[in-house]
Amino acid sequence: MSYYSNTTNIRCFAHSLQLCVNHAMKEPNIQEITKKVRKIVCYFKHSTTAIALLGKQQTLLDLPSHCPIQDEPTRWNSTLYMLQRFDEQKRALFDVIIDQNNFKLIKDVNNDDLVLITEFIKILIPFEEATKMISSEKHPTVSLILPIIKQLQNYLNKYEKSNSTVINSFIEKLMLEVNNMKVKYQEAIYTLKLASFVDLRFKNCKFLDTDEYQMLKESVQSYIMDQNSTTEYKSEIKNKVTNLLWDDYENESSQHDELERYEKISQFRLTDDPFIFWKNNKYEFPNLFRLALRYLCIPGSSVPSERVFSVSGFIVDDLRNRLSPKNVEMLVYLKFNKFLLDYVSIFTHIKINY
């Protein structure tokens, strides 16, 4: 336990977003609207006749052949998907309900509700985008936390005031929840700042004010000055002068300008991979590379580990219930790492069949 006593605990950001939106969606008016939509979706989910008529109506109206989506109330994004699909298919849905004389399903749904549904979708889409980004497995995610919080705050602040008190109240509630969410990460704020700084996508730290950014740079510079490049790094830096006369001079100057050179690098696009940069420049920025190794490896959410448990559930089913724990572990490992076999086969010229 002593080994972990000084570690920083970073809560799952995907779960924090889930709680943030779930709390905001508990507003009575929002609950009432989603309840109306859920009732219509349930009708189609339990009626093969209605689904068949829906398909024909979609063809007549030149709409995508999509079925209604039933939400899971504990997952807000499933409610978003349900509202999006309802908004897309509302003409066909209403036509089928009217043709079947089932007016009680839509008697409480008015034009104001339809407008509100469109607004809800527009407001919630950035939160869904944030959830998908933080759940990535192939890119750093801990460095996303502070930029995402700042972008959500900016988005909600810039959102135009609506004539609807329901929409305005919903935005205010979301803003309150986002602000509270940021407070929950104060204990790990320094770790999150450093992670974003060594991520080339957010190296300018636009989510910080000028004083905070300057303090962060001073902290990083202090770290660089305290570090001495290891023998391994010294021996592999390209074009390094090996003459003992100039060894200290080169080492001292590189420490002083490492941060300055890093700041001059253009900020990456969101789709770029900072891991590639550090792989190619680890000897150019040896001290910052150590920071990147230390902080960019931290996952911003527990989603990837939860996917592992989900895959285990698919592997061990009623027809494969005699698998030993060791075999299950190996099968799960192969599932998530078989791309390494492709990588090995390229360089060994061995054809691998799965």
- Give tens-digit pLDDT for 49-99: 999 999 999 999 999 999 999 998 778 999 999 999 999 999 999 999 999
Q: Residue 307 — very low, low, confident or very high, per pLDDT cuts 50/70/90? A: confident
Give the model's pLDDT for residue 245. Answer: 57
pLDDT of 351 reads 46
Transcribe 125-184 into DSSP letters: HHHHHHHHHHT-SSS--GGGHHHHHHHHHHHHHHSPPPS-HHHHHHHHHHHHHHHHHHHH
> Residues 324, 296: contact at Cβ < 8 Å?
no
Helix (H, G, I), strand (E, B) or coil at 329: helix
The pLDDT score that the predictor gives to residue 208 is 93
Q: pTM for this one?
A: 0.81
The DSSP code for 334 is: H
Q: Indicate if the pLDDT at residue 196 is higher than 60.
A: yes
What confidence tens digit (pLDDT) does each residue in 218-250 have? 999 988 888 754 444 444 454 444 555 555 555
Banded pLDDT at 139 (limits 50, 70, 90): confident
Q: Are 5 and 125 in contact (CB under 8 A)?
A: no
Q: Is the pLDDT of residue 1 over 50?
A: no
Does 143 have pLDDT greater than 80? yes
**What pLDDT sits at residue 235?**
46
* 191 vs 341, more confident: 191
pLDDT band at 340 (very low <50, low <70, confident <90, very high): low
Is the pLDDT at 324 greater than 80? The verdict is yes
Where do the structural domains in the chain lie, given as residue ranges? 13-190, 198-295, 303-348
Task: Using pLDDT thresholds of 50, 70 and 90, give the confidence band for residue 211.
Answer: very high
